Amino acid sequence: MPACSFRMFRTATFFVIALLSLCGWAGAQSPNGEATAAGRSVGFLVDNSGTFRRVLDRAIRIAAGVAEGLPEGSAGFLITYTDQESIFLKQDLTNDKEMLADEIENIFVRPGRTAVWDAIRVAADHFRKDTPEESRRTLIVFTDGDELGSVSKPDQVIKDLQELKVSVIAVGLAERQVNQKMIDRLVRETNGIKIVPPPGGEARTVAAEILARFNDGN
């Protein structure tokens, strides 16, 4: 997708975010570029495997829109994943929204299977080591719901998320049909939410929905 197209999307999304901001997003800004206790720590976990390639562009648009609109005092990090050997921290925790969005827009497809539980475990470890304990922790998982090859045990991963008080927003995207079994468990056991946009739905609308939930304190 050409960079100019992403810039146009981000410009359009900005106006939606600006309207939401009038409702009172607030928080203290940390001088070292991290989330403060009053803010939110947001992890972006994006499937970039070959099976996700036809919807990756849409996932990128949604994620970049959310990154651009994170509430003040919040910070985010980005992890991409395919199989167990290809789970990468692409952007460490930062409150530089533009830098985070740029990294999201630079995601590309890699070969490999889809080890979702392994990727979530890596994200949980990052929350544990690098985010303020008092901040609100949210993990946004972009997935088609298919799990292929994780060695991590789902029960333990869920337990880690619960202990860290990480709430999961699962964004289900697929060329045909999202496998919702794993997604349903994730959101049910972490007090999270599931978003499965209809085919052809506007990415900016999904981004605005997620940001509105942040604004509501969820």
Q: Where are the domains of the chain?
A: 3-215
The mean per-residue pLDDT over the stretch 77-92 comes to: 96
* pLDDT band of 216, cuts 50, 70, 90: confident
The per-residue pLDDT of the chain, averaged, comes to: 86
3-state secondary structure 173-193: CCCCCCCHHHHHHHHHHCCCE
Which among 146, 15, 1, 111 is positioned nearest to 61, based on CA atoms?
Answer: 1
Residue 2: per-residue pLDDT:
52
Residue 93: per-residue pLDDT:
97
Residue 218: per-residue pLDDT:
66
Domain 3-215 classification at class level? alpha beta
* pLDDT band of 39, cuts 50, 70, 90: confident
Lowest mean pLDDT among 47-51, 85-89, 109-113: 109-113
Query: What's the half-sphere exposure (Cβ side, CA atoms, 13 Å) at 89?
Result: 15
The mean per-residue pLDDT over the stretch 36-55 comes to: 88
Q: Is the pLDDT of residue 29 over 50?
A: no
Contacts of 131 (CB under 8 A, 6+ apart): 34, 35, 41, 75, 93, 137
Residue 51: C-alpha distances to residues 20, 54, 122, 174, 201 (Å): 34, 8, 21, 9, 20
